[in-house]
Amino acid sequence: MASLFIKKLERICRKNESLVCVGLDVDMNRIPTFLHDVGEPVLTFNRAIIDATHDLVCAYKLNIAFYEVLGAEGLQQFRKTVDHIPDDVIKIVDAKRGDIGNTARMYAKSCFEYYGGDAVTASPYLGRDSLQPFLDYEEKCTFVLCLTSNPGSKDFQYLSLGGKTLYQLVAENVNRWNEKRNCGLVVGATHPEELKKVREIAPELPFLIPGIGAQGGDVGQTVRFGTDKKGERAIINSSRGIIYASAGKDFADAARAKTKELREAINTWRS
């Protein structure tokens, strides 16, 4: 039985024929300067991007760090942004939280109830009991960091433990913890060979795949190795490559063009 999240994901991916996730990781210093004069610049920027792209994506991912740094005001803009996303599109709260049980419950409540996410990202380092409060939200999805897209992923994730690397062991464990069909994995597009291995370990889990675009991940390999056997269950994120496509008045149109381009590049490889 597919979970509510998986059904929602399938529905929107098919409706919009898209595996694209737009990352609304919005840095005040990089949005068009004319927006600095409006009341809620990040929200205004986000609404324009959402209006211009929502029929081309399956999901939006909001990295909470970019809003938290703006203080209480930033968090209000986070919530209002989530409210502006159409109901049938997946909302991912990219928080990468990881803490002991009684604290993780607070984070899960914040991410799913206060911030309104359909899904969240979480760190595996503290183990299963730190993830359980997130997994208790059966209708949501928890994407656990497995292999990240940054150079530092080599420091610990690639360490070998009796023939298996740490990221493989994370994938195996999360795949086993997927009793309610509400687990997912974060696997960076910058490691195509490893992405393939993780897909073999977890053939049915949804993957959140960052690292396309600014970080250099290859679209073709990401689609071939990251999707499931039906060419689905991969949410391929691009943030900077889409939202900063233009620094002018046409920023939303430019974002639409880049989103369309990525959607088509992905779909070419799916078929």
Nearest distance from C-beta of residue 67 to its own copies, angstroms = 9
Nearest distance from C-beta of residue 168 to its own copies, angstroms = 11
Residue from 44, 47, 76, 196 binding its own copies (CB under 8 A):
76
Which string of x and - marks every residue 150-179 that binds its own copies (by CB under 8 A)? Answer: xxxxxxxx-xxxx---x--xx--x------
**Given the rule CB under 8 A, which of 44-52, 99-107, 229-237, 253-261 is the region that contacts its own copies?**
99-107
- The single residue of 96, 109, 180, 260 carrying the catalytic annotation is 96
Residue 249, SS3 per DSSP: coil
Identity of the residue, 38 or 65, whose beta carbon is nearer to its own copies in the bound complex: 65
Closest CA to 184 of 143, 225, 138, 235: 143
Contact 98, 123 (CB under 8 A): yes
Contacts of its own copies in 174-203 (CB under 8 A): none
Q: Does 97 contact its own copies by CB under 8 A? A: yes
Ramachandran category for residue 235: left, alpha or beta (phi over 0 → left; psi -120 to 50 → alpha): beta
Q: Does 45 contact its own copies by CB under 8 A? A: no
Decide the pairing of beta strands 183-187 and 141-147: parallel
For residue 230, how many other CB atoms are within 10 A of its CB? 8
**Can you state the percent helix, strand and coil of the chain, rounding each to 5?**
50, 15, 35
Identity of the residue, 50 or 62, whose beta carbon is nearer to its own copies in the bound complex: 62
Identity of the residue, 56 or 243, whose beta carbon is nearer to its own copies in the bound complex: 243
Q: How many residues bind its own copies (CB under 8 A)?
A: 54
Q: Which residues of 96-124 are buried (b: 16+ CB within 10 A; e: fewer)?
A: bbbbeeeebeebbebbbeebbbbbbbbbb
Q: 118 vs 2, 47, 79, 173, 203, CA distance in Å? A: 15, 19, 13, 22, 21
Residue 109 known to be catalytic: no
Which residues participate in catalysis according to the annotation?
96
Residues that bind its own copies (CB under 8 A): 25, 27, 63, 65-66, 68-69, 71-73, 75-76, 96-104, 106-107, 109-110, 114, 123-131, 145, 148-157, 159-162, 166, 169-170, 173
